[in-house]
Structure 1
Amino acid sequence: MSTCSTVSQDLDEPLSGTAPAARTWLLLEQPGPWGAKALTSSHLDPVVGRALENAAKGTGVRVALIRRPGRHADRGTGAERRVYAAHTTPGGVWLRSATVTDPRLLLGLDFAALGRGDRRTFDAVLGGGPHTGAPLALVCTNGKRDRCCALLGRPLAAELAASGVEGVWEVTHLGGHRFSPTMLVLPYGYAYGRITAADVREILHGVREARIEVDGCRGNSAWDRPGQAAELAVRSTAGVDAAEALIVVRTDVVRDGAHGGGAAPGWEVTVAHVDGRHWRVHVAQGAAQPPRPESCGASVLGTPARMEVTAVRELLVTAALAG
């Protein structure tokens, strides 16, 4: 039987505008097995996991568990764990790290401040500081959520680690199982799908030079789905690869069937370059056809929403600022 990722690839489902949305990522190392809802179904105390979930709601922070590639034996509750926090909004990107032995310390964080990009709470509560190592390559491997993540993600993470690629971690959930293997790269927050080990090396080489590879990219997690698609469209159209060059400054809902979109949702997204250039990008929401499994565990076929860029128009700066 075909997997959801095989069907998605055979149908050439587009990747753009499918990244998970989070302005800030909070990552806690948790060895051992993960359940489908890993924060409350792993060897992490489920009371702590549930409290972390609740603390993050509505703040722009996304909490996930990570572990080193390979065997997943739990080293015990007293072991040191790595913790990372990354803010992904261009112009304010940062990546911090800390080491803890008690995950309950994370409950002392000011999640609203983290979501705004204020790193002081991470440093004060956890004794964190700047991450000075390689960029983080987070490969989704949680087979309890979808078997494609285990069948495709775990071998990729293991291959990368065995070949000496630094900064590789397994992560619990990045969404879009049907795009497996999927990966998030920090600090910049761009997600990728259907990647190979060679792709990852090229992506990470670019990140070390503060460049973003567009091929295979699902979008920047700092933006909502229309913003992700619009920003990637500008990168492709204008040849922009600098990591923090573009920012989504405005997203307007298109009403009354503008641009011939009928009753389907649509957006006009304004994207700005740090050099002063602006673009207006029209994004329409379509439905992926024919129906397909959105995950291997889905009981019915679905028609997942897709972000379709129908126009990219560069604006005069004065017109852009006038809205």
Structure 2
Amino acid sequence: MTAAERFFCADAARTRGDSLAGTAPYGSVWILIEYRGGWPPNGFDGLDLDPDTKALVFSAAQAVRARMLLIRRHGRHSPEGPRRWAVLRHENSGAHRQQWGTWSRDEDLAQIADALGAPGELDCPPVVLVCAHGQHDTCCAVRGRPVGRALSERWPDLVWECTHVGGDRFAANVVVAPDGVYYGNLDARSSVAAVEEHLSGRIHAEHLRGYTDLFPPQQAAVTAVLERFGPAGRHDYAIVETSREHDCWRIRIAGPPTRPATFEVEVHSHRTPPSQLTCRGLSMSSAVVYEVTAIRVG
């Protein structure tokens, strides 16, 4: 196969016009482990670590349904200073908590299990994660690394490249944590604009995949409201009520004081025709799309 014939899942998704809205995976806890060597295709699972420590961390992560990501600074593969780990948590109250530590021996990673049970610190700067996991999917590297470079040049202390975050076909993917906000279909220029607006308290519908504390139809509903009424802060909209009948959801959203009091959003789901959704996955799969069919101001 020539370079011109090579399949790239992100190119194919753009050609199909795959919808971003409602594609952020659910979750509120992240475990980050700085690893400067080569990343295995399956991330943490593939690391050659002390078996007891690895089992302890994996079990603790499973207990709270945490997403485990390997991280590194863009372009910095040689050892320099201690490696870091972090536990990031987005609480139901909207509070964002972080706990950071360092490790030099495998056994030091056992601290992660303790940190998962600790409250963590408030008011820490957010972490900007750029998926650049080329061993998992080619598009994550081809599209992710230029975004990692651009964001790292702008915010060197906030930005890390990371392993698979989901949605390879939407590369480049960026996650702001523990805010729990997923962005996709980014390039160097749009990623800087999106993160700059995010850090200023303005989340735009464009490039938004969703909020990880919401379920897919709720994510799509919030995205539609942002698209119609303009950018807003991470917690400006709250889900008040969600009901479902077959493939239709009715979602009531409360707005901030500067917007209408409530919105009634109708969301329908359907499956796409089977297609190849990742660069490495040769099987054909269908995806669920959440389409907003009506927005009513309450």
- TM-score normalised over the length of structure 2: 0.86
Q: Residue 98 of structure 1 corresponds to which residue in structure 2?
A: 100
1:40-189 equivalences in 2 (<5 Å): 40-45=45-50, 47-57=52-62, 59-73=64-78, 79-87=82-90, 89=92, 91-101=93-103, 102-110=108-116, 121-123=118-120, 129-130=121-122, 132-133=124-125, 135-162=126-153, 165-189=156-180
Q: Residue 280 of structure 1 corresponds to which residue in structure 2?
A: 264
Aligned length, in residue pairs: 287
CA distance in 2, matches of 1:285, 1:50: 38
CA distance in 1, matches of 2:21, 2:85: 31
What's the CA shift for 1:158?
2.6
What's the CA shift for 1:251?
2.3
Q: Residue 240 of structure 2 corresponds to which residue in structure 1?
A: 249
Given that residues 97 and 130 in structure 1 are in contact (C-alpha distance below 8 angstroms), is that contact kept between their aligned partners in structure 2?
A: no
What's the CA shift for 1:236?
1.7
What's the CA shift for 1:131?
5.5
What's the CA shift for 1:105?
0.8
Q: Residue 251 of structure 2 corresponds to which residue in structure 1?
A: 269
* Residues 284-319 of structure 1: CA deviation (Å, up to 9, x unaligned): 111223x3211111122222111111111222xxxx
Counterpart of 1:219 (choices 177, 188, 210) is: 210
CA distance in 2, matches of 1:184, 1:282: 27
Q: Secondary structure at the match of 1:39?
A: helix
What's the CA shift for 1:88?
6.2
CA distance in 2, matches of 1:270, 1:283: 11
CA distance in 2, matches of 1:58, 1:313: 40
Q: Residue 9 of structure 1 corresponds to which residue in structure 2?
A: 14
1:190 aligns with 2:186: no
Given that residues 52 and 63 in structure 1 are in contact (C-alpha distance below 8 angstroms), is that contact kept between their aligned partners in structure 2?
A: no
Q: Residue 320 of structure 1 corresponds to which residue in structure 2?
A: none
* Residues 201-252 of structure 1: CA deviation (Å, up to 9, x unaligned): 2222222222212211101111111111111112222335122101223322
What's the CA shift for 1:27?
2.1
CA distance in 2, matches of 1:2, 1:175: 18
Q: Residue 238 of structure 1 corresponds to which residue in structure 2?
A: 229
Letter in structure 2 aligned against 1:279: F
Q: Residue 285 of structure 2 corresponds to which residue in structure 1?
A: 302
Cα gap change, 1:314 to 1:130, in 2 (>3 Å): same
Q: Residue 3 of structure 2 corresponds to which residue in structure 1?
A: none
Given that residues 95 and 122 in structure 2 are in contact (C-alpha distance below 8 angstroms), is that contact kept between their aligned partners in structure 1?
A: no
CA distance in 2, matches of 1:245, 1:96: 22
Given that residues 99 and 115 in structure 2 are in contact (C-alpha distance below 8 angstroms), is that contact kept between their aligned partners in structure 1?
A: no
Cα gap change, 1:16 to 1:50, in 2 (>3 Å): farther
Q: Secondary structure at the match of 2:39?
A: coil
Q: Which runs of 5+ in 1 are unaligned?
A: 112-120, 124-128, 256-264, 316-323
Q: Which runs of 5+ in 2 are unaligned?
A: 1-5
CA distance in 2, matches of 1:268, 1:45: 49
Q: Please, what is the CA RMSD of the aligned residues?
A: 2.5
Cα gap change, 1:88 to 1:234, in 2 (>3 Å): farther
Given that residues 205 and 231 in structure 2 are in contact (C-alpha distance below 8 angstroms), is that contact kept between their aligned partners in structure 1?
A: no
Cα gap change, 1:42 to 1:73, in 2 (>3 Å): farther
* Residues 250-301 of structure 1: CA deviation (Å, up to 9, x unaligned): 322213xxxxxxxxx2322222224482222221111223x32111111222
Cα gap change, 1:143 to 1:222, in 2 (>3 Å): same
- TM-score normalised over the length of structure 1: 0.80
Counterpart of 1:26 (choices 28, 31, 38) is: 31
